[in-house]
Amino acid sequence: MFALTRTYDVALLDLDGVVYVGERAVPHAAEALVAARDDGMRLAFVTNNASRPAETVAAHLSDIGVAAAPEEVVTSAQAAARVLAERLSAGARVLVVGGEGLEVALRERGLEPVGSADDGPEAVAQGFSPDIGWRALAEGTYAVASGALWVATNVDATIPTTRGRAPGNGTLVSAVGRASGREPVVAGKPEPPMHREAILRTGARRPLVVGDRLDTDIEGAERAGVDSLLVLTGVTDPVELVLSPAGLRPTYLGADLRALHEPPDRLVVEPGRSSHGPWKAAVEGGRLRLWRDEPAAGTSAPELDAVRAACGAAWAADGVEPASVRDAFAAANWAVA
């Protein structure tokens, strides 16, 4: 059976937690992506982080061993800029609460970035930047409260860093929302404009979304009607995955980007399929139980087979006690974080 690299034409890859965390590449990511290209799969690097322009993101990727051209990078700033350009006239002023990536994306769409509510903006574009302070949030609030169209690049509550989870753009958007009493139009994942932007830019006919978050990457793929691969190198842990509701469940599960080179049937997770490799699972009285037969020859990542089996059993059940999921992994001698 063909690997995912031969089954799908374009991988729509999330970045933070999938390809890199902070300044460092995720282990095995660079080699797996080089090999994916060799197999004929095209790559698009799709990120909700709007702080940097595509050229800067591409340079960072190249520095960590993943050769990337700026046109292969799709940011939520670009998705937000398209949303604004479709609603505003050419040359309209847009107040930027964010970084350089948002300013560049707006100019590419023929809009004029400004920095103050006193500049007469017709809209506010808000995206993550580690340098955003109170004054920028205040200017955004003044404009939003006065009735300006408000588009947020994303509302991710957190971002992964080498030191752990840190506040994401969603926390900053919430500050403006609470102060102004309004809600923004959201362009980034899981909202449709993000994957629409990626598909338009790549011309993908059968894309595969690859991500680490259920509530952005996987939900976004589900809403776009696109298959997805969840990798466990970022935010989501196995217990959270097993307990995930419909609409936030991936098509496939892999440890990291090497999963792109596995056949779909090895990676698939679906309700009712409660036997994977040497592992079997069942839900009895609302509690998850896991056990294994003798290891099957030629299987890879057997610990993830336990998670796949657990997902199959739990997703087909009426309900599962959350504590029983962690207990089941512990009883199977596989500790999860």
Q: Which residues are catalytic?
A: 14, 16
Residue from 175, 184, 178 nearest 134 by CA: 175
Q: Is the dihedral of CA 72, 78, 83, 84 positive or negative?
A: negative
- CA 267 to the chain's CA centroid: 19
Which residue in this structure is represented by tokens 């990798």?
Answer: 231
Q: How far is CA 200 from CA 82, 103, 190, 332, in A?
A: 11, 21, 17, 45
Q: Are 65 and 25 in contact (CB under 8 A)?
A: yes
Q: How far apart are the first and last CA of the chain?
A: 33
Assign 207 to helix, strand or coil: strand
- The secondary element (H helix, E strand) that includes residue 62 is helix 54-63
The conformational region for residue 204 under phi > 0 = left, psi -120 to 50 = alpha, else beta, is beta
Place of tokens 């993101």: 57
Sequence-ordered list of residues with C-beta below 8 angstroms from that of 117, at least 6 positions apart, any chain: 95, 139, 140, 142, 143, 146, 148
